[in-house]
Each structure stands twice: as structure tokens, then as C-alpha cells.
Amino acid sequence: MRVMVDDTIAVGPGKIALLQALDETRSITAAARALGMSYRRAWTLIDELNRALKEPAVISAAGGSQGGGSELSPSGRQLLELYRGIEAQALAACKPDIQRLLKLLA
């Protein structure tokens, strides 16, 4: 599912997967690695997402002696939970059609 704002994908499966991985790893670098994407691509997606929301989805602390890291903000956590809930509802509603579609596949 993609949520569009004008002609831009504000929220979609890639950004949500990145938020999920970031929540699990607390590191943009580790989340990017887990998803097979570059750090630059991960940072770009997070920046796009933060700009699309009223409040940032991700809070980052610079590295250094304390090590830094990133975490979901309350808005980011709410976004992740809402998106996953909508996905589950959509899948349940479409289950019969998905079963018919699967029968068409080789």
C-alpha cells in the first residue's frame, strides 16, 4: 500500500520496512544493511518521511563516545502501528480474491 501526497509517495512498503528495521536495530546503518540498501538510500527515505509528517518519525543522535543511534519517535511508532494494522485489515478483506488470484499463478 502506498499513501500519496500530491505526486509523492509519502508512505509505502519500503519506508515502513525501514522503520521496522530501524526499530529493531536502533541504527540507520544496520537497518539499511538488513534491507540490502545503502546508508544514503536509507537516510534519504527517512528524510522524505520526516518531511512528509507533522512530526519526525525518526530521532537520531550523533555518534561519538556514547555511540549515537536512532529510534522511532512516538509519531514514527504510531505510523508503523497504523500502517501494519491497515495492511492486516486489507489482507483479511481481500483474502478470497487473493486465493483466486493465486490459483491463476504458475
What digits encode the pLDDT tens for the residues 45-77?
999 999 999 999 999 877 656 667 899 999 999
**CB under 8 Å, gap of 24 or more: what pairs does 72-81 form?**
72/19, 72/22, 72/23, 76/19, 77/23, 79/11, 79/16, 79/19, 79/53, 80/16, 80/19, 80/20, 80/23
Q: What is the pTM of this model?
A: 0.85
pLDDT at 6: 87
Domain ranges of the chain: 3-104
C-alpha to C-alpha distances, 84 to 16, 79, 80, 88, 97, nearest whole angstrom: 9, 8, 6, 6, 20
pLDDT at 64: 59
The CATH code of the domain at 3-104 is 1.10.10.10
The amino acid that residue 70 corresponds to is S
